[in-house]
Amino acid sequence: EAQVTQNPRYLITVTGKKLTVTCSQNMNHEYMSWYRQDPGLGLRQIYYSMNVEVTDKGDVPEGYKVSRKEKRNFPLILESPSPNQTSLYFCASSFAEDQPQHFGDGTRLSIL
Amino acid sequence: EDQVTQSPEALRLQEGESSSLNCSYTVSGLRGLFWYRQDPGKGPEFLFTLYSAGEEKEKERLKATLTKKESFLHITAPKPEDSATYLCAVPPSGGTSYGKLTFGQGTILTVHP
């Protein structure tokens, strides 16, 4: 089954404790992206990747890091999480940036 | 920079009451327009892609249309299970939008039985 898999689905943690949200896709997609979704603000792009080893900032990259060492994986790293990063996060992938994206089921992060 | 605006923010319908959602866009060169459906707590689910003015796509009770400035999602005789947030988005048209998909804020549709 074609899918984008995110882990964990839910996480409650504390300020400053490094965390990684994993994302994996099995569709051989070139393009991958991370979004956060907050009430009243809609979906905002954090980082995206056009291909392996090619990443770039989206609209809200501050406080986040990403890497793309393999085509299928695109982890999101919060080096020193803060409460304002409490949000619902989505990973997405597509064949190219002008093709419709497939989304994961989301990761709900709470930073205390 | 690409911009997408959806209206209304929320729409409440009675079962069977047809209506339309609007998505207005401003891009330097349209490379497509996507419609998604999002259920609470879940990722957006792809519905349609439209590429050129005059194009229409249909799926069950939904029909998406496209003009040079906006897209409409028509819902015919909706059912309660059509309740969701509907999002439209445009792929990057270049310049400062390079690589970035632009989403509208979404329309929250509620269909009452």
pLDDT tens across the length of chain B (113 residues)? 889 999 999 999 999 999 999 999 998 888 899 999 999 989 999 999 999 999 999 999 999 999 999 999 999 999 999 999 999 999 887 665 567 889 999 999 999 99
Among A92, A98, A106, whose Cβ lies nearest the Cβ of B41?
A: A106
CA dist A61 and B27 (Å) reads 23
Q: How close A103 comes to chain B (CA, Å)?
A: 5
Residue B98: the pLDDT is 67
- The 10s digit of each residue's pLDDT in A46-101 is 999 999 999 999 989 999 999 999 999 999 999 999 999 999 999 999 998 889 99
Residue in chain B nearest A50 by alpha carbon: B99
Taking a C-beta distance cutoff of 8 angstroms, is the pair A40, A16 a contact?
Answer: no
Interchain contact, B91 vs A105, CB within 8 Å:
no
Closest-CA residue to A36 (of A44, A28, A48): A44
Structure tokens at A23: 């994302």
3-state secondary structure labels for all residues of A9-63:
CEEEECCCCCEEEEEEECCCCCEEEEEEEECCCEEEEEEEEEECCEEEECCCCCC
